[in-house]
A and B are shown apart, each in its own frame.
Chain A
Amino acid sequence: MTETTMLRAINLALARAMTEDERVIVLGEDVGPDGGVFRATDGLFARFGAERVRDTPLSEAGIGGIAVGLAVAGFRPVAEIQFSGFIYPLIDQIANHAARFRTRTHGHLTCPIVVRAPNGGGIHAPEHHSESPEAMFAHIPGLRVIVPSSPRRAYGLLLAALRGSDPVIYLEPSRLYRAAREAMKDDGEALPVDRCFVSREGIDVTIVAWGAMVVEALNAAAQWEAKGFSAEVIDVATLKPLDAGTIINSVKKTGRCVIVHEAPLTGGYGGEIAARVAEGAFSSLLAPIVRVAGFDTVMPLPKLEHLYLPDAARIGAALDRVLAYA
């Protein structure tokens, strides 16, 4: 079987959802004949037509708002925002509207939208093209926040998002779009969006990560194995609602927890996970919970971004640190 990239996996999930459900509408800037700036919607315009694959004006708040209206009126819009750094004008639509319709009407009106955006650094992009705002969205009640880490998970999680009835923020690690490849089938199998995945089993430490950082965590775990230790790697995948149980159970087994994210440290989602672990696995902890994260700085431009992004070396140093306790 040939290997599939994450980008292709996303494209396959979109095409399958559009095939099985006429209500699925793709909209965004350059998603039509151009197929999206990363080509995630490549071929969809030719296959499904201009009504269902809609190039929008350059209008992020409008895209968000029109998706809300479409969804409340019974469609399943998938809005592409070109980069997560340009998602901020939608936050009003997401926080004040998409995430609230069900509660505000006790389920009489609902808002099943999926907002997709390339996310994170590592692609040597211009300013504002390498952001990681997932914690902002994870703070909004009523949203599902999903960050895939591999082609198979991208496919299965996006299908679940498109078939579900909740508003979803789906942040795609742009550095993995073409770098992550694996054999997979376009079999229409969705993955659960209410739990974390154990990407690697281990007994000495639990590394918790999502998106591109899962790859770094797996690299660090592989390097650490040479030292005779085994790390468990958990791919959070769905940040909100959080499956804290899987993480807590892992830390109860390993006694140590390192959390990795490329978003800035302070107020990052790692803090939430650390709090859950501290509360749920307190008596099992052998070492402080350690976070490896981006700095509390503006995302550096390409010349220095490699120094900002957590990598296997920085994760390895954190693993050494937690192992030094007992």
Chain B
Amino acid sequence: MATIAAHFDVHHTRYLDPAGQLVQPLPADADAATLTALYRALVRTRTFDAKAVALQRTGRLGTYASSIGQEAVSVGTAGAMRPDDVLVPSFREHGGQLWRGATPTELFLYWGGDERGNYFAKAPHDFPNCVPVGSQAPHAAGVALAIKLRKEPRAVVCVFGDGATSKGDVYEAMNLAGVWVLPVVFVISNNQWAISVPLKQQTASQTLAQKAIAAGIPGEQVDGNDVIAVRAVVGAALDRARRGEGARLVEALTYRLGDHTTSDDASRYRKDSDVTPRWREEPVRRLHQYLTAAGLWSKDDEDNLLKQVNAEIDAAADAYLATPAPDPSVIFDYTYATLPADLLAQKQAALAAMPSAPGRHAAE
């Protein structure tokens, strides 16, 4: 006969159901101004996404990873952060990046193939996108260690997808964060798909949140299409982290409504009938329904918002398209702190052989 050596639970939090109905009282700090700010950010993100895809489809942007359907994970997470916290994202966190001060022009520049899109002048401590899946998770632990060593009341948020949870990097990061009690919150934007591989082929684990338990940190689930819930759960985790209570894993359940990227064609591996019902759960409409029913949002508010964000994103796209390509010397100049003689010789030879092309725009 065996006894139970350990027992764990995985909690799931939701405030708004898919129809926008409250299922429990709102968090105390979710006042009208906060909720409308979150809604504005969701709409702004979706508008940015649509513009980015349109630019890509017309040959004016590189391959782009839309966040459509997942905006609440990104916006809710960033909405829970303080400005001096640090965001260590994967590559689908446009909503969070925009919330934290990255400009739409910077994001267009990045996806158009220009490192100047990674400057993040208004969020200078945030990390740039991480394309090698999950490999940014230990960076977040490292930044959290830096914060802990300096005894600062800050915390780190690392966002990655469901596929990343199959990688050793993510487990190693959680394990280190557990052992060293680091102020970091790992957020899984579980959109159910790693390109074409559905979650059930990604892991036999009942939840992704429980992967934290083996690392000795708490793991919990949140409705990732409920921006109020994401903000509340990540916010509580960040508060604990800043108080020195260590790391946490939050699995946000959402759905990738679009293709993996503009280079992907999801119809090759999933049916429209799989996706259609998911549109009834998506985050923007959900919060809109709640705000409207609560009398916090009107048709005029909606019209004004759309007019405003469309104008902003169009202007940002124009600014991006009007940005000349970087000087070719940047290929060389940031490889080392100072240019080694060997590389200087390569640079001089290469620049001498390059056609001068003033006025090339960023997307060419």
- Select B142's contact among A61, A70, A110, A166, beta carbons within 8 Å: A70
Set of chain B residues within 8 Å of A243, measured between Cβ atoms? 341-342
Set of chain B residues within 8 Å of A103, measured between Cβ atoms? 115, 334-335
- Select B175's contact among A59, A69, A73, beta carbons within 8 Å: A59
Q: How far is the CB of B132 from chain A (nearest CB, A)?
A: 5
A68 to B158, CA, bound (A): 14
Set of chain A residues within 8 Å of B124, measured between Cβ atoms? 108
Interface string of B312-342 (1 = CB under 8 A from A): 0000000000000000001000111100111
Q: Cβ of A97 < 8 Å from any Cβ of B?
A: yes
A142 to B343, CA, bound (A): 10
Set of chain A residues within 8 Å of B144, measured between Cβ atoms? 69
Q: Cβ of B137 < 8 Å from any Cβ of A?
A: yes
Q: How far is the CB of A81 from chain B (nearest CB, A)?
A: 14
Q: Cβ of A109 < 8 Å from any Cβ of B?
A: yes
| Given A61-B172, A92-B132: A106 touches B116 (CB 8 Å cut-off) | yes
Set of chain B residues within 8 Å of A106, measured between Cβ atoms? 115-116, 118-119, 330, 334
Return the chain A residue nearest B129 by Cβ.
Answer: A104
Q: Cβ of B246 < 8 Å from any Cβ of A?
A: no
A-B contact pairs, 23 of them (CB 8 A): A57-B172, A59-B172, A62-B173, A62-B175, A65-B169, A65-B172, A66-B142, A69-B139, A69-B140, A69-B142, A73-B125, A74-B146, A92-B135, A97-B132, A102-B334, A102-B335, A102-B336, A102-B337, A103-B335, A106-B118, A144-B336, A166-B336, A244-B342
A69 touches B334 (CB 8 A): no
Q: How far is the CB of B116 from chain A (nearest CB, A)?
A: 7
B139 touches A72 (CB 8 A): yes
Residues of B within 8 A of A (CB): 86, 88, 115-116, 118-120, 124-125, 127-128, 132, 135-147, 149, 168-169, 172-173, 175-176, 179, 330, 334-337, 340-343
- Going nearest first, the 7 A-B pairs with the smallest beta carbon separation are A69-B142, A65-B138, A62-B172, A241-B340, A73-B146, A69-B139, A165-B337
Set of chain A residues within 8 Å of B115, measured between Cβ atoms? 103-106
Return the chain A residue nearest B121 by Cβ.
Answer: A108
Return the chain A residue nearest B137 by Cβ.
Answer: A65
Return the chain A residue nearest B147 by Cβ.
Answer: A73
Q: Cβ of A194 < 8 Å from any Cβ of B?
A: yes
Residues of A within 8 A of B (CB): 25, 51, 56-57, 59, 61-62, 64-75, 77, 89, 92-93, 96-97, 102-110, 141-142, 144, 164-166, 194, 241-245
Q: How far is the CB of B348 from chain A (nearest CB, A)?
A: 15
Set of chain A residues within 8 Å of B138, measured between Cβ atoms? 61-62, 64-66, 68-69, 93
Return the chain B residue nearest A241 by Cβ.
Answer: B340
Set of chain B residues within 8 Å of A142, measured between Cβ atoms? 335-336
A108 to B125, CA, bound (A): 9
B176 touches A105 (CB 8 A): no
A70 touches B143 (CB 8 A): yes
Return the chain B residue nearest A96 by Cβ.
Answer: B132
Q: How far is the CB of A320 from chain B (nearest CB, A)?
A: 32
Set of chain B residues within 8 Å of A66, measured between Cβ atoms? 138-139, 141-142, 145, 173, 176
Return the chain A residue nearest B119 by Cβ.
Answer: A108
Set of chain B residues within 8 Å of A56, measured between Cβ atoms? 176
B137 touches A241 (CB 8 A): no
Q: A25-B149, A102-B337 are in contact. List 10 more A-B contacts (CB 8 A).
A: A51-B149, A64-B138, A68-B138, A69-B145, A70-B145, A71-B142, A75-B149, A103-B334, A104-B115, A241-B340
A70 touches B119 (CB 8 A): no
Return the chain B residue nearest A111 by Cβ.
Answer: B139
Q: How far is the CB of A31 from chain B (nearest CB, A)?
A: 15
Set of chain A residues within 8 Å of B140, measured between Cβ atoms? 69
Set of chain A residues within 8 Å of B336, measured between Cβ atoms? 102, 142, 144, 166, 241
Set of chain B residues within 8 Å of A73, measured between Cβ atoms? 86, 125, 142-143, 146-147
A59 touches B146 (CB 8 A): no
A42 to B326, CA, bound (A): 48
A92 to B116, CA, bound (A): 24
Set of chain A residues within 8 Å of B143, measured between Cβ atoms? 69-70, 72-73
Q: How far is the CB of B181 from chain A (nearest CB, A)?
A: 12
Q: How far is the CB of B118 from chain A (nearest CB, A)?
A: 5
Q: How far is the CB of B178 from chain A (nearest CB, A)?
A: 9
Set of chain A residues within 8 Å of B168, measured between Cβ atoms? 61, 89
Set of chain B residues within 8 Å of A64, measured between Cβ atoms? 138
B334 touches A62 (CB 8 A): no
A108 touches B340 (CB 8 A): no
B343 touches A105 (CB 8 A): no
Q: Which of A69, A75, A107 has the most CB of B within 10 A?
A: A69
A70 to B124, CA, bound (A): 16
Set of chain A residues within 8 Å of B147, measured between Cβ atoms? 73
| Given A72-B142, A75-B149, A105-B128: A61 touches B337 (CB 8 Å cut-off) | no
A242 to B341, CA, bound (A): 9
A57 touches B176 (CB 8 A): yes
A68 to B115, CA, bound (A): 19
B146 touches A70 (CB 8 A): yes
A59 to B137, CA, bound (A): 13
